[in-house]
Amino acid sequence: MLKLFSKRLKHNIENIYDKSNCKSNEIGYVKHNPPANKEWYNSIYAFNKNTVKLLPSLNKLIFKLIKSYFYLYNHKFENKIRLPRMRIKQRRLSVNKIFVSKAELKHTNDKIIITLYIYNRQNLYYLNKLKLIEKGGFFKKKKSFEIRLKKIRDKGLKIISKVLNKEKTFVIDQMQYFITEPEQKQTSCAVVQQKISFTFTTKYLKNFLIKSLTQEMLWLYINQNIFFNKSKFNNNYILPLIKLIKTFYNKKIDFNLVNLKSLTLNSYLLTQSIILKLNKWKTNRMLRTLSASLDLFKLPKREIINELIYNTFYNKKILKQNIVVNDQYNSIDHNLKQKLRANNDLLDIMLYKMYDLNLFRGSASNNKKIKYVTNTVLNLIKYKSVCGVRLQGAGRVTRRYTAQRSVFKVRYDGNLKDMDSSFLNRSSVILRGHLKASLQYTKLSSKVRIGSFGIKGWINSY
């Protein structure tokens, strides 16, 4: 049986190379296989079954450690920015923090790879404060402290000169009615001018310098907070955290931190922010918070999706988007065919024809090469843009301190169906046998004085 099977294989391989005129071999869309950490949050293989039992409790403990590390703050720096000092409860419920997603762990024999999705809201808060200071002031970015002080002095002298001229004219007009002799007028006017100039210069300079210096000191304190925030992502500061986690697993640990531009890219971060808002008394309105969180999403219009479906199924003018391997093989030179036949690799032929390799051989600039590579890589990546959202909240969420009936609210936009399987008639991968690869789902709960509540979040992408 084995001999027959090997002969049949050899015969099929020879036919692939010899039948160059045949055009029946077509390749459709390649099925996109997501990484293993998406399928299992904690992928591990252990000889002893008892070691696996401790993993859920260990993961909870490590997740608390990672959260507490990213929620670190400095009392001295932050109290200088805020005049009314924040309490511990207000700090916990504040949205201005570094949001951390659920850790995705990948175990090997020697090390553990921990992937974390992070949204740095605190850094944006500090940068917005800096913009407000710079708009209110008259100095621009990236200027030294001495240049700023010179500008403050020049601006202050201009303001004082305007005020002095107004006051001098008013006093001299009043003196003319009471003093008749010209010599007395000159001496008295000179004395009054000196007194006015001294009093007003001291008064206005003090006020102006106090305001400008407080603005400058605020600018410095905010920059200190920004530096403290950025230092959390440095390797030197993460090392003590790695040592702590190493004691639990007795393995090497590698962090894979992914900085997200918005909360809409991860369902866990989005539901976490909604729970923080609902815990506050001011924003304790479920329907309003759910609808406000939907406004963050920029979903594609339904007309674009309908056009895409029409072009794939009903439009006969557009050709079938499949690649015929033999057509690509026939268009290559005869000398190149013999070289590639020696290597017995058809994949090289396809890549040679699909991607313009002359760009890399020639004297093209590095920017062109980088753009070319990034475009090809980004086109191959799937599930980049969001096409549907669903947010569901239920529980005792009321503004009154009475245990009333539980509230149930739903807000959704777009579509939660898989674009490949349901619309474009392509095969798609299912995670764990029942979950869609394009769909993110999270379920979180929290407590209030009245009772508990929970929120579910779905984010679909294509």
What is the distance between the alpha carbons of residues 461 and 416, in angstroms, rounded to a whole number? 8
In this prediction, residue 331 carries a pLDDT of 46
Q: Is residue 100 part of a domain?
A: no
Q: Is residue 151 part of a domain?
A: yes
Q: Domain containing 164: what range?
A: 143-222
Tally of structural domains, the chain: 1
Q: What is the mean pLDDT of each run of 10 residues along the chain (462 residues)?
A: 47 46 45 70 76 85 92 80 71 86 87 92 89 66 60 64 63 54 54 59 70 81 89 89 91 91 91 91 84 87 62 50 42 49 47 50 60 67 84 86 79 85 77 84 89 92 84
In this prediction, residue 327 carries a pLDDT of 43
How much is the pTM?
0.70
What is the distance between the alpha carbons of residues 219 and 131, in angstroms, rounded to a whole number? 10
What is the distance between the alpha carbons of residues 57 and 59, in angstroms, rounded to a whole number? 5
In this prediction, residue 120 carries a pLDDT of 93
- CA angle (372, 374, 376) in 5-degree steps: 70
Please report, for residues 22, 319, 360, 370, the alpha-carbon distance to residue 354 in angstroms, rounded to integers and kept in the order given. Answer: 20, 18, 14, 17
Residue 297: closest CA among 165, 457, 166: 457
- In angstroms and rounded to an integer, the radius of gyration of the C-alpha atoms of the chain is 34
In this prediction, residue 374 carries a pLDDT of 66
Q: Is residue 36 part of a domain?
A: no
Q: Is residue 395 part of a domain?
A: no
In this prediction, residue 437 carries a pLDDT of 86
Q: Is residue 188 part of a domain?
A: yes
Q: Is residue 289 within 8 Å of residue 119, measured between CB atoms? A: no
Q: Is residue 419 part of a domain?
A: no
Give me 160's structure tokens.
């004082």
What is the distance between the alpha carbons of residues 397 and 394, in angstroms, rounded to a whole number? 8
Q: Is residue 119 within 8 Å of residue 266, measured between CB atoms? A: yes
- Name residue, tokens 């001098």: 168
What is the distance between the alpha carbons of residues 17 and 341, in angstroms, rounded to a whole number? 8
- Name residue, tokens 């994949």: 347
Q: Is residue 178 part of a domain?
A: yes
What is the distance between the alpha carbons of residues 364 and 325, in angstroms, rounded to a whole number? 29
What is the distance between the alpha carbons of residues 69 and 61, in angstroms, rounded to a whole number? 13
Residue 407: closest CA among 234, 284, 252, 262: 284
Task: Give Cβ neighbours of residue 406 (< 8 Å, ≥ 6 apart).
Answer: 394, 395, 396, 451, 453
Q: Is residue 102 part of a domain?
A: no
Helices (H) and strands (E) in the chain, counts: 18, 13
In this prediction, residue 421 carries a pLDDT of 79
Query: At CB < 8 A and 24+ separation, what contacts does 143-147 make?
Result: 145/216
